[in-house]
Every structure is written in C-alpha cells, then in structure tokens.
Structure 1
Amino acid sequence: MTQRTDTPPAWDERTQLITFLDYARETARAKCEGVSAEDARKAPLPDSPLMTMCGLISHLRWVEHYWIQVMFLGEELAGPLTEASDDDPDPEMRTAIDIPLPRLLAEYQDQSDRYRHLLSGHDLDATAERAISDGRHVDLRWVILHLIEETSRHNGHLDIVRELVDGRTGV
C-alpha cells in the first residue's frame, strides 16, 4: 500500500499525476476502513440501488481496467464489464454485492500496484490503441487525468454512502 499523500516526491509532470491518482485511490480505501460487511453492501439512496461501498470500489477497479487495459493498451474487455448492456450498464456494481469488501479492496490494491508499474513504461504522450466515442485517440496523460477525476468523484459518493450507513464522516 502506498502512503496517502498528495505531495509528490518530485515535481515533474508524471510524478505529480501518479501521486494524485494514488492519493485518490488511497482515499477511496481509507473511506472503507472499519465498515462492517453488512454496511458495505447497503444501498442507502433509494433511487440508486447499486450505490454501495462494495459497488463503488468494484466500479473504480473496473473503470481502471477499462481505461488502461482496454482503451490505452487495446486489450479485450474482461470480468463483469463483458456483461454490460443498456439494461445493465454497471454490472461491476451489481455483482459486487456478493463479493466481500476486503477482497474487492485487495483486488483494487493489487491492480493499482500493477498499473503503476505498467504505466511507468509508457510516455505520457503515448496514444491509446482504441479511440474514444468521437474517434480521437487520447494520450496516457488524459487517461491518468480522467482516472483522477473519476476516482475523486466517486470518493464523494463513498463519503455520502458511508455517512448514511454508519454515520462516519471525514477521511
């Protein structure tokens, strides 16, 4: 596990980007510390039945898979993302209800460590193998920035869900 800090050890662009991505990842993990197994599976927002702590961590894991392995590296979809449809656009959130939060967190940590190493071998200007919906090929810099945004946004969701299921705030 990396140390949770938003202050990079060096001021080059790559180090700053990776530091902020790691900080957002560690914040997501910290928001889950000490939550009960039952509370991790609760969906306290009536109009968002998939919005659970388990679902959010699973979503973060699979979003990284999608942007790094599928879009940037050009690999095929894997895991629950292969089941996505118009009727079930977020199967990674639905299926997470059956997976213990410690396992989801461990998988997310292992993947984060693997991606940190993998991305270190690519230039920030390297372009994605697959095009986004408008036909453009984003670069690795954009992918990392997008993951920072995505993870940080869902940290807000984790804040709300955690407060509603057991009253814990902060982190």
Structure 2
Amino acid sequence: MTTERIASVPRVDPSTTSGEREALEQWLDFHRATLAGKCEGLDDAQLRTPSAPPSDLTLLGLVRHMAEVENGWFRNVLAGEKAGRVYSTEEDRDRDLRITEEDSYAEAYATWQAQIAHARTVAAGRGLDDLATGSHHSGRPFNLRWIYLHMIEEYARHNGHADLLRERIDGATGD
C-alpha cells in the first residue's frame, strides 16, 4: 500500500505573556502539532508499528483516538451535536485504537484535522465559563475551560506515548 506524505501542522511555542484563553488555545494547538510531528515522515506500515508487548498501541491509533476525543468533547459534549463516535462503536469502544491493514494515515489525519477545525468553530464565541450544551456519560456539567484543560492533558499524556513509539520505530527523539 502506498502512503502519501502528509505535511505536519507547524508547531508554534505558546506565548509566555498571553491571557488565559489565548494560552489554553495555544497550548492545545502546540500539543496537536506535536502529535502530527511525531508521525511526520513515516509510512503507514511504520505508523502501525506497535509499542512493546503486550500493548498494541500505535501512532496511527493515537491519531484516530485523538480524532475521537476531539469529536467527543467538542461536538458531543460542548456543542451538544449528538454526532456519535468517529471510529468506536458501542460493541468496541476501543476501535479507534485497533488498527487494521485497511486503516490509513491519510484518512485518519484528514478526519483528525476536520475534528480540530470543528472544535475551533464550536468553541469560538463561547466564554471559558460557558457550560457545555451536550451531555457527558458522567452526568456532570463541564465548562469550556475544563474541556480545554482536559484536552491539553489528554494530548500531553498521549504525546509521551508517541515519543516512545517514534523512538521504537526509527530512533527519533526530541520534542
């Protein structure tokens, strides 16, 4: 299978003097770009390379997972769109992380970027204290500030996984 190379999102260091909302958005974008950078220059076979057994975590799975997470928090919870899931199903909630030979980075990257673009759209014009209009399975209310902070945490945790996966694939290390 041939893989077209996807250009990564430019990564910009967050400002050290910005206001709260700008800082949250900059850090979230920084972490989004970090994950894209970890996948840069790899083909689909490499992106399907699992971490150390027994884990079957892959970079491709992480991209699909983050598309799922963006969809869940911004579309379903914040905007209340009832968009459903991107990859996962009721029967297989971890389908986003389960990679097959048919799954491609080009598709996953396009889906992930579309979810990010939609996240920016639904967050625009809302205040950090504004409550989500959708519901979460926990039944708890969430404001936009909490969602931004959670997304930064989610990306930061998974970018640590991506660091180790990339090093295993080709020895590349660094931010």
Quote the Cα distance in structure 2 between the aligned partners of 1:96 and 1:24: 26
Q: CA deviation at 1:121?
A: 1.8
Listed one character per residue, the Cα deviations across residues 24-74 of structure 1 (whole Å, up to 9, x for unaligned) are 00000011111122111111321112x011100000111010011111122
- Please tell me the residue identity of whatever aligns with 2:42: V
Please state if 1:47 is matched with 2:51: no
Alpha-carbon RMSD across the aligned residues, in angstroms, is: 2.1
Q: Contact 1:54/1:97 (CA < 8 Å) preserved in 2? A: no
User: Which residue does the alignment assign to 1:158?
Assistant: 162
Please state if 1:126 is matched with 2:133: no
Q: Contact 2:71/2:86 (CA < 8 Å) preserved in 1? A: no
Q: Contact 2:78/2:134 (CA < 8 Å) preserved in 1? A: yes
Q: Please give the TM-score of this superposition, normalised by the length of structure 2.
A: 0.84
User: Which residue does the alignment assign to 1:30?
Assistant: 37
Quote the Cα distance in structure 2 between the aligned partners of 1:143 and 1:40: 28
- Please tell me the residue identity of whatever aligns with 1:31: K
Q: Contact 1:58/1:96 (CA < 8 Å) preserved in 2? A: no
User: Which residue does the alignment assign to 2:94?
Assistant: 90
Query: Whose helix proportion is higher, 1 or 2?
Result: 1
Q: Return 5+ residue gaps in structure 2 as ranges.
A: 1-7
- Please tell me the residue identity of whatever aligns with 1:52: T
- Please tell me the residue identity of whatever aligns with 1:43: P
User: Which residue does the alignment assign to 2:148?
Assistant: 144
Deviates more, 1:142-151 or 1:1-10: 1-10
Evaluate the alpha carbon distance shift between residue 97 and residue 170 of structure 1 in structure 2; reply closer, same or farther with a 3 A threshold.
farther
Match of 2:81, SS? coil
Q: CA deviation at 1:2?
A: 5.6
Match of 2:26, SS? helix
Quote the Cα distance in structure 2 between the aligned partners of 1:113 and 1:9: 25
Quote the Cα distance in structure 2 between the aligned partners of 1:22 and 1:69: 17
Listed one character per residue, the Cα deviations across residues 9-32 of structure 1 (whole Å, up to 9, x for unaligned) are 972211110000000000000111
Quote the Cα distance in structure 2 between the aligned partners of 1:122 and 1:108: 22
Please state if 1:170 is matched with 2:171: no
Listed one character per residue, the Cα deviations across residues 75-121 of structure 1 (whole Å, up to 9, x for unaligned) are 2213323x144xx3311111565322133223222322332233112
Count of aligned pairs: 167
Q: Contact 2:47/2:105 (CA < 8 Å) preserved in 1? A: yes
Quote the Cα distance in structure 2 between the aligned partners of 1:119 and 1:134: 21
Match of 1:18 among 25, 42, 57: 25
Higher relative contact order (CA 8 A, sep 6+): 1
